Structure 1
């Protein structure tokens, strides 16, 4: 296309998509979804002294 920001009817399969950020509002998967734990949360370990 002449303008890369112009929408058209072309589609493609993406497979697994990982979306991260505060601006992700809604994702509608076709084949379902799978929830995972947040890998960015620091695991806190306290040791008694």
Structure 2
């Protein structure tokens, strides 16, 4: 992913920050999706681990 973000910079080192921000947001979407989908199981696992 860092290499793909690096491609948004031109030869002078200037970048289009809007495109970089959009690409960063899209790269976080799967991680956030997995967290939201598995949050119930994560919380249940943590809660039941402390019970003896």
TM-score (norm 1): 0.25
Tell me which of the two structures has the higher relative contact order, counting C-alpha pairs closer than 8 angstroms and 6 or more residues apart: 2
TM-score (norm 2): 0.24
Which protein is richer in helix relative to its size?
A: 2
